[in-house]
Chain A
Amino acid sequence: GQSLEQPSEVTAVEGAIVQINCTYQTSGFYGLSWYQQHDGGAPTFLSYNGLDGLEETGRFSSFLSRSDSYGYLLLQELQMKDSASYFCAVRDYGQAGTALIFGKGTTLSVSS
Chain B
Amino acid sequence: NAGVTQTPKFQVLKTGQSMTLQCAQDMNHNSMYWYRQDPGMGLRLIYYSASEGTTDKGEVPNGYNVSRLNKREFSLRLESAAPSQTSVYFCASRDTGDNEQFFGPGTRLTVL
Contact = CB atoms under 8 A, between A and B. Distances in A.
Nearest to A96: B56
Contacts, number: 67
B19 interface: no
B45 interface: yes
B50 A96 contact: yes
12 contacts: A35-B101, A43-B101, A44-B103, A45-B99, A45-B100, A45-B101, A50-B99, A87-B43, A92-B45, A99-B31, A100-B33, A105-B42
A20 B24 CA distance: 33
Given A42-B103, A94-B56, A100 B41 contact: no
Nearest to A8: B40
A96 B57 CA distance: 9
Contacts of A96: 48-50, 54-56
B43 A42 contact: no
A1 to B, nearest CB: 8
A8 B39 CA distance: 11
B58 A48 contact: no
B42 A98 contact: no
A44 B55 CA distance: 24
A99 B60 CA distance: 13
Contacts of A44: 103
Interface in A14-63: 31, 33, 35, 41-45, 48, 50
Contacts of A48: 99-100
Contacts of B42: 87, 102-105
A99 B103 contact: no
Given A99-B33, A104-B40, 11 more contacts: A42-B103, A42-B106, A43-B101, A45-B102, A48-B100, A96-B54, A96-B56, A98-B31, A99-B58, A101-B59, A102-B44
Contact of B104 (A42, A95, A101): A42
Nearest to B49: A96
A57 to B, nearest CB: 12
A50 B50 CA distance: 21
